[in-house]
Amino acid sequence: MRSWSAPEIPSLPGAGLPLRLYDTSARGVRDTSPGPKARMYVCGITPYDATHLGHANTYLAFDLANRMWRDAGHEVHFTQNATDVDDPLLERAEQTGVDWRELAEREIELYRTDMEALRIVPPDDYVGVTEVVGQVAELIGRLKDKGATYQVDDDVYFSVAAAPKFGAVSGYPEERMLELFAERGGDPERPGKRHPLDWLLWRAERPGEPSWASPLGPGRPGWHVECTTIALNRLGSGFDVSGGGSDLIFPHHEMGASEGHVATGEWPFAKAYVHAGMVGLDGEKMSKSRGNLVFVSRLRAEHDPMAVRLALLAHHYREDWEWTGDQIVSATERLARWRAAFACPAGPDALPVLRRVRERMTDDLDAPGALAAIDDWAARAVAGEGGDAGAPALVRATADSLLGIAL
Ligand code: 5CA
Ligand code: ZN
């Protein structure tokens, strides 16, 4: 699928630092240590509604990782899916009387526009599941050959008993897994399953639902295996970061990791599993199913998109937080202060600011710490401190390159 236009990223003097990230599967902050080409897969949207601030917060987190790797001299191979056929999309299409393909296309297009406005570096591969159904069926065939699948009626399931590493990503006890599986699209109670946590790989054709011909019979992919297939085929196993919001830790990334492991015999499927916190509104996680949404498109119609980005950057990416209207006001004020400082004829030495921003950002993406470093410099520049005529341009380039705030 078409991706979106890349923002320009100014290069900065000196060397970037190695990126450290909190890896859910290691339960701690670790060096990412990628090769010359860092490989990252970030789970994309299910396009049945517009991009909300929670999505934006998650995609911003991985955009920051992308930028820090580039600053350290890596190339980045970035892949993302769009879940352009799945139950919630089909249900919404049905309710609103819109063709599901049209609904998906319209929301994906809005998402592209939102991401571009927020200066998110686009994926190199932006892949709709409907483009790769044959590849998904092929991967399920591999799992079948390993004896890891079985059928319930005409549907194909993955047998959790065939996955020796199951549980390694989330570390959750089985009770918690069962709860989350039921909440997040799973079917623990379906009769005929061997284990309640066995998950759907291939959903056989149902009347009125889209389906594709395959050696498994006509049907469509289950959710987790779509991402496993796309990540494996585009990046190869052992890629550096598998990312998404913390609601994907279980079941999505847990089950995907086991699929990758059993299909290839290689472990880990991803070297690090990295998760952004949940953005809420009025005490609840912002979600399309709850409908308590603040849309990026609505916000950026009324505010500078760079203020929207700054409002998100004010929170550490792993934090769970609540959106309130005053946050866009503070971000707009901060933007004005930075603008004034960058327009100063001179300012205090910029190199310590660059160093500090690099330090904060490579330490598990401490964006609030990076903002504080620029705030401090900006206050001093506006107060007339320092006589370095090159400093405003260098701090501006730092904010642009590493934080994606272009002024
Ligand atoms: N298509 C699947 C992933 S394969 C999916 O989860 N789609 S989604 O549209 O529901 O979410 C897209 C991304 O935004 C996911 O990474 C998800 O973890 C993240 N996300 C969803 N809601 C929130 C929220 N309230 N706060 C932060 N991130 C969120
Ligand atoms: Zn995914």
- Residue 49 C-alpha from the chain's centroid: 17
Contact present, 67 and 9 (Cβ < 8 Å): yes
Predicted confidence band of residue 294 (pLDDT cuts 50, 70, 90): very high
Only one residue has tokens 């409907």, namely: 130
Could you give the percent of the chain with pLDDT greater than 70? 100
Query: Average pLDDT of 360-374?
Result: 98
Residue the block writes with tokens 């379906």: 190
pLDDT tens, 111-141? 999 999 999 999 999 999 999 999 999 999 9
**Tens-digit pLDDT profile for residues 211-248:** 999 999 999 999 999 999 999 999 999 999 999 999 99
Q: Write down the pLDDT at residue 291.
A: 80
HEC-encoded secondary structure of 241-298? EEEEEHHHHHHHHHHHHHHHHHHHCCCCCEEEEEEECCEEECCEECCCCCCCCCEHHH
Ligand 1 atom nearest to CA at 57: 27
263: CA distance to ligand 2 center in Å? 17
The closest-lying atom of ligand 1 relative to the alpha carbon of residue 248 is 18
Q: Give the ligand at the shortest distance from the Cα of 257.
A: 2
pLDDT tens for 248-269 read 999 999 999 999 999 999 999 9
3-state secondary structure of 20: strand
Helix (H, G, I), strand (E, B) or coil at 45: coil
Residues with CB under 5 A from ligand 2 (ion): 43, 227
Mind giving me the DSSP string for 108-139?
HHHHHHHHHHTTPPPPSEEEEGGGSHHHHHHH
Distance 31 CA to ligand 1 centre (A): 25
pLDDT of residue 350: 98
Measured CA to CA, the distance from residue 318 to residue 405 in angstroms comes to 20
The pLDDT of residue 21 is above 80? yes
> How many angstroms does the Cα of residue 165 sit away from the middle of ligand 2?
19
Question: Measuring from atom 16 of ligand 1, which residue has the nearest CA?
Answer: 244
Q: How far is the CA of 363 from the centre of ligand 2 (A)?
A: 25
* Ligand 1, CB within 6 Å, residue ranges: 43-46, 54-55, 57-58, 81, 83, 227, 244-245, 247-248, 276, 278-279, 285-287
pTM over 0.85: yes
pLDDT at residue 286 tops 90? no
Q: How far does residue 45's CA lie from ligand 2's centre (Å)? A: 8
Ligand closest to Cα of 111 equals 1
Rounded distance, CA 381 to CA 378, Å? 5
pLDDT for residue 189:
98
Q: Give the list of residues 6+ apart from residue 55 with CB closer than 8 angstroms, or none.
A: 45, 111, 296
